[in-house]
Amino acid sequence: MKRIIFTINLLIATIALCAQSLDEGKRHIYYERYQSAAQFFHSVLTQNPANAEAWFLLTRSYLLQNEPAKASDNLAKAPASIQQELYYRLAKAALLINNDKPAEALTLFTSAVEETKSKDADILAAIADIHIADKKGDANYAIELLQKAIKRDKKNASLLVSLGKAYRKMHNATEAYKMFKEAADKQSLASAWYELGEIFVSQKNADVYLENFTKAIAADKEYGPAYNALYDHYLYRNPAKAMDYFQLYKLYADKTLHQDYSYTDLLYLTDKFDSAIISAKKLIQTEGDKVQLRLYKLIAYCNQGTGDTSTALQYMKDYFQKEADSNFVVKDYENMAVLYGSSSIGETDSAMVYLEKAAEKTTDTTAVMGYYKNLASLAAKIKNYLAEAKWLGKYFHHSPQANNVTLFNWGLAAYKAQDYQQADSAFGLYTQKYPEQGFGYYWQARTNAAIDTSMQLGLAIPHYQKLTEVINKDSLTTTDKKWLSEAYFYLASYETNIAKEYEKAIEYFKNILVIDPSNEQAQKYIGMLENTISSNSNIGSR
């Protein structure tokens, strides 16, 4: 008799344990602890492999982790004796939906609904949740099933949450909001408040979604998704606060590799550079070829934060060597330029290469203009005047902030690079835009003088003449005097050596004396030219 009683008690305890394990597993799914859920259902099935619902929930746990192969492999181990049971068929249908076989899945779903005569709210909700969670699922069908389920179980607020998710999958935010709000008001479910918050995340209404995520935690302090949502919000706004929410999220969520990456990011964002480097290196070591290559960048940034530019550059080089070109972003090229251009590295040519790539990569026109200016400055630093002229020219033609100084510097850089054609274009443009200023005429004259070194073509003449007309003779500055003296001397030289117009040449030299009465050269050449004219006159009179 005692043995019979013991056997019965053991059987009752086993049944109770299985039931408890299912409830606990369902709680894990609700809290989005899918790894823990899978472990629980494995535990149940080890004790009772004939539990069809546990097989269904195990399959769901893997599918919710986006691991269909594991779901399929594990379901294949189910005993043949349960393969006609309702929950096993639902598990098989879930895999069919995931494998893009909706017609076959629908047959199994329909038979389950007909078998229960549309009266089992749990079955209806289970089928609906499959369609809601899977990208290939039918949200309309889910809505139809959930409306039936709610009629059968009016007090179950979680059904309203599922219905809200189905509406949101249909992009019907209005109806989704109504369902989530009704569920929150009816039972204050954390998931309902959380889903309400998610609606306003998509609308970028921070005040409202933060309020709802906070209400989710107030309703259930163990609801990890709400902590994760708050962490996401504060990640770049207030990293220290994000760290607080992240630590709470870790407390109530399954441990994942993603958390290790997130924690490393937070260490960097909160300026804990040494700790971030240690964490990143540990991930690189343990993950090997599977590691996210961005960690090399993160280590580089951390070393920059500590002032170790050399090590930072090495890790950025590692990143560029390992990562696919298509994954590089503008900031990557920009940072390489910063590192190469730093005082401790000082490789300006390399800095310019990466800065040019950043300019090519970005779609931000304002940023492009900044890159052009920086490239011009770097080129000037190493006296690469041709490159300086190139980038100043681009900046002038494309930036609304470009001005006369930009235009002048462009022309001057081209002049220094001995690209006189480009310089002539730039200074010619200067005279068009600022005809009242002497800068353009003076440098266009000098540029053409550099082109026409023998003066035979007289290219500089009209520009020097225009310069003498533009300068105000009544209030000469030191620069004005210099320019006029140079212009008159050049014009006098042309008239003397090329045109042989000595009288004109003398007039130009006399103009120099008006500016500078003590100019000995002007006086000398006037005397020489007057003697030449006199000699020619004497020869002509003979």
Q: Which long-range contacts (CB under 8 A, 24 or more apart) does 370-376 make?
A: 372/398, 372/399, 374/337, 376/409, 376/413
* CA–CA dist 302, 296 (Å, integer): 10
* CA–CA dist 443, 78 (Å, integer): 89
Residue whose C-alpha is closest to residue 64's, from 100, 102, 101, 26: 26
Instruction: Please give the sequence-ordered ranges of beta strands (E in DSSP) within 373-500, or none if there are none.
Output: none
Average pLDDT on 477-503 reads: 96
* CA–CA dist 245, 233 (Å, integer): 10
pLDDT of the residue at 3: 46
Confidence of residue 6 (pLDDT cuts 50, 70, 90): very low
* CA–CA dist 141, 131 (Å, integer): 8
pLDDT tens digits, 430-463: 999 999 999 999 999 999 999 999 999 999 999 9
Q: Please give the structure tokens belonging to residue 57.
A: 């929930």
Question: Is 248 inside any structural domain?
Answer: yes
Q: Do residues 249 and 222 lie in contact, with contact meaning Cβ atoms separated by under 8 Å? A: no
pLDDT of the residue at 541: 56
Question: Is 91 inside any structural domain?
Answer: no
Residue 11 has pLDDT above 70, yes or no: no
Confidence of residue 251 (pLDDT cuts 50, 70, 90): very high
Residue 17 has pLDDT above 80, yes or no: no
Question: Is 85 inside any structural domain?
Answer: no
Residue 10 has pLDDT above 70, yes or no: no
Question: Is 518 inside any structural domain?
Answer: yes
* CA–CA dist 390, 463 (Å, integer): 24
Residue whose C-alpha is closest to residue 144's, from 97, 181, 193, 106: 106
The whole domain housing 493 covers 471-542
Q: Please give the structure tokens belonging to residue 109.
A: 């779903």
Residue 287 has pLDDT above 80, yes or no: yes
* CA–CA dist 305, 280 (Å, integer): 15
Give the end of a domain, one of 255, 271, 289: 255
Confidence of residue 1 (pLDDT cuts 50, 70, 90): very low
Give the end of a domain, one of 231, 255, 279: 255
Question: Is 21 inside any structural domain?
Answer: no
pLDDT of the residue at 472: 85
pLDDT tens digits, 359-397: 999 999 999 999 999 999 999 999 999 999 999 999 999
Lowest mean pLDDT among 17-21, 44-48, 127-131: 17-21
SS3 at position 79: coil
Give the end of a domain, one of 255, 273, 292: 255
Confidence of residue 8 (pLDDT cuts 50, 70, 90): very low
Residue 13 has pLDDT above 50, yes or no: no
* CA–CA dist 40, 234 (Å, integer): 33
pLDDT tens digits, 91-110: 999 999 999 999 999 999 99
Residue 14 has pLDDT above 60, yes or no: no
Percentage, residues of the chain above pLDDT 70: 95
pLDDT of the residue at 539: 66
pLDDT of the residue at 542: 54
Question: Is 482 inside any structural domain?
Answer: yes
**SS3 sequence of 443-485:** HHHHHHHHHCCCCCCCCCHHHHHHHHHHCCCCCCCHHHHHHHH
pLDDT tens digits, 401-412: 999 999 999 999
Give kind and range of the element (H or E) at residue 504: helix 502-515
Residue 343 has pLDDT above 70, yes or no: yes
What's the CATH code of the domain at 532? 1.25.40
SS3 at position 239: helix
* CA–CA dist 138, 295 (Å, integer): 39
Q: What is the DSSP string of 176-227?
A: HHHHHHHHHHHH--HHHHHHHHHHHHHTT-HHHHHHHHHHHHHH-TT-HHHH
* CA–CA dist 240, 346 (Å, integer): 35
* CA–CA dist 406, 251 (Å, integer): 58
pLDDT of the residue at 389: 98
* CA–CA dist 22, 43 (Å, integer): 10
pLDDT of the residue at 5: 40
Give kind and range of the element (H or E) at residue 17: helix 2-30
Q: Please give the structure tokens belonging to residue 85.
A: 């049971």
Question: Is 320 inside any structural domain?
Answer: no
Residue type for position 14:
T
* CA–CA dist 228, 194 (Å, integer): 11
Residue type for position 262:
S
Q: What is the DSSP string of 259-327?
A: HHHHHHHHHHHTT-HHHHHHHHHHHHHHHGGGS-THHHHHHHHHHHHTT-HHHHHHHHHHHHHHS-GGG
State the average pLDDT for the chain: 94
Q: Do residues 358 and 338 lie in contact, with contact meaning Cβ atoms separated by under 8 Å? A: no
CA 396 from centroid of its chain's CA atoms: 27
- Cα→Cα distances 486→243, 481, 524, Å: 69, 9, 16
Q: Please give the structure tokens belonging to residue 488.
A: 């008159």
pLDDT of the residue at 538: 67
Backbone angles phi, psi at 403, to 5 degrees: -135, -165
Question: Is 152 inside any structural domain?
Answer: no
pLDDT tens digits, 160-197: 999 999 999 999 999 999 999 999 999 999 999 999 99
Q: Exposed (0-12), middle (13-18) or buried (19+): which is 80, by Cβ within 10 Å?
A: exposed
Rounded (10°) angle between helices 68-75 and 52-64: 160
Residue 86 has pLDDT above 70, yes or no: yes
pLDDT of the residue at 441: 97
Number of domains in the chain: 2
Radius of gyration for the chain, computed over Cα atoms and rounded to the nearest angstrom: 41
Average pLDDT on 487-497 reads: 97
* CA–CA dist 144, 277 (Å, integer): 52
Backbone angles phi, psi at 223, to 5 degrees: -80, 90
